[in-house]
Amino acid sequence: MTIELMDGGFQARAARHAALADPARLRIIDLLTLGDYSPTELQAELGIPSNLLSHHLRTLETAGLATRHRSEADKRRSYVRLTSGALDGLSPGREHGVRRVLFVCTRNSARSQLATALWRRVSEIPATSAGTQPADRVAQGAIDIARRHGVNLKNVTPRQLDEVATSDDFIVTVCDNAHEELTGLEGIHWSVPDPLRRNTKDAFEHAFLDLSSRVSDLAPRLHAA
């Protein structure tokens, strides 16, 4: 027992369990298993003072359960996300019944198209995508990275959100700009960096892998309504 208690992996597990022992922190993690939240959004969800929320977020970050980064849209805003592998061996929150998943970004030319294609590979729940300000065509970098991973984006075109969305959709914004533009819209948010900002192979690869991981994590949480 003494040897096990000295093991770093054991201590890290103990720290995670200790961090999750508080109801507010457990609620934060339950929310983050679905998507990313700004501290303001978390404060609204939990109904607690900002200083108490800051304490809880610091505890979760110290335990390696959560991390945060600046918004690509409003630089004054940050987003908190679940650390990769944070809940390995722990049970996530409840499942959600949905009719269709709608992935949304600003241009509907890269991230939302990739997310939709990835979703269709792992779930039978219908999925589609749209943009708040759709581009004329899907970005070549998105087409190229999709092809390298065995996904076909050749025959898809960007579409306007208002023409696609229905009241039954489970909306996932994958773009900080779209999320902040659609304030008050029901759904979840994934703060995925825009690969078109750098427009490099590595940028698109990073976005693809980020989306793939998130899709794989979310799919088991949803079931057809």
pLDDT in tens, 38-54: 999 999 999 999 999 99
Give the three-class secondary structure for 12: helix
pLDDT of residue 5: 45
DSSP-assigned states of every residue in 13-41: HHHHHHHTTSHHHHHHHHHHTT--B-HHH
Residue 162 confidence (pLDDT) above 80? yes
pLDDT in tens, 78-106: 999 999 888 876 655 567 789 999 999 99
Residue 4 confidence (pLDDT) above 60? no
Q: Give me the CATH code for the 96-224 domain, please.
A: 3.40.50.2300
pLDDT in tens, 189-206: 999 999 999 999 999 999
Looking at the chain, which residues constitute the CATH 1.10.10.10 domain(s)? Answer: 2-82
pLDDT of residue 2: 39
Instruction: Quote the mean pLDDT of the chain.
Output: 92
Half-sphere exposure of 96 (CA within 13 A, CB side): 20
Nearest to 109 by CA among 174, 62, 202: 174
Confidence of residue 8 (pLDDT cuts 50, 70, 90): low
Joined together, the tokens standing for residue 2 give 């003494």
Give the three-class secondary structure for 220: helix
pLDDT in tens, 124-155: 999 999 999 999 999 999 999 999 999 989 88
CATH fold, domain 2-82, is Arc Repressor Mutant, subunit A (1.10.10)
Looking at the chain, which residues constitute the CATH 3.40.50.2300 domain(s)? Answer: 96-224
